[in-house]
Structure formats: C-alpha cells, structure tokens
Amino acid sequence: MALSSVSIPVICMDDHNRSIFSTVTLAQSAHGEMWISERQGCLNFRYRSSPAGYESDWHVAGDPTLIAVSAGRIELELQDGTKKQFGPGEKFIAQDFTPSGSEFDPAKHGHRARVIGDEQFSAVHIKLGERAL
C-alpha cells in the first residue's frame, strides 16, 4: 500500500548553535483503515498548564520533547525574531540545548514562549529521550 507521512515542526540547533525551526517527517503505512508510523520511543510525559498572559524567559528544551497542544495557543519566538504559533491539535518538538562547554546565555541561546489570547494553555509534554552529551 502507498505510504503517507506526518510532518512535525521542530526547534533544533543550526551549525552555529542557534535555535532554528525545522521539520521532521515520519513515514506512515496503512494498517487496516488507519495510517500509522513506526513506534517512537519516549521516557516519560507530563501535563502542562499555563495561564492566559504567561510569558517565559529565554530557555532551551535540553532533552528532545514532543509538545501536543490540547487547549489555548502558544507563540514561540527564536533569538532571530522568528515566531510560530501552535494551537489545539497541533504539535511540535523542542530539542534546542546549551552547547557543550558553554553556559546558557539568554542573549544567544534558546527560545521563549507566551500564551496568546484569553484561554489557558494546556499541553502534554512527552520526553522523547535524553540528549547525548
């Protein structure tokens, strides 16, 4: 049967250790009347809620984490001013980090987030693995 795929936005690092937006694509194959990817590993998951008006400081994800939004909207901003918003039913992977041998510098590293609108933001954070040092 024909293959399908799912694309997931990712915050990752470029060759200059800057956080950037990218995309990962997972192939899906038909199983009966559904399309499904191969199994993906994970370590744990957490439920997250942030009130309307929430804004984070600059930070990095550290370990790769899939964030699946269930309510509200969140806007992610990178150091270069690039922004993306995610709402209910959307997902993204955060896997930017402080480079080995460096201390976190909020003027150079990471991303920040803010809740958009008047609704509480809710999501599931699924830790996909631990970053190899």
Q: Where are the domains of the chain?
A: 10-22+41-127
The token pair at 113 is: 């987030």
Q: What fold characterizes domain 10-22+41-127?
A: Jelly Rolls (2.60.120)
pLDDT at 131: 82
Instruction: For the chain, 133 residues long, give each residue's pLDDT as a single digit of tens.
Output: 456 999 999 999 999 989 999 999 999 999 888 999 999 999 999 999 999 999 999 999 989 999 999 999 999 999 999 999 999 999 999 999 998 888 999 999 999 999 999 999 999 999 999 886 5
> What's the whole-model pTM score?
0.90
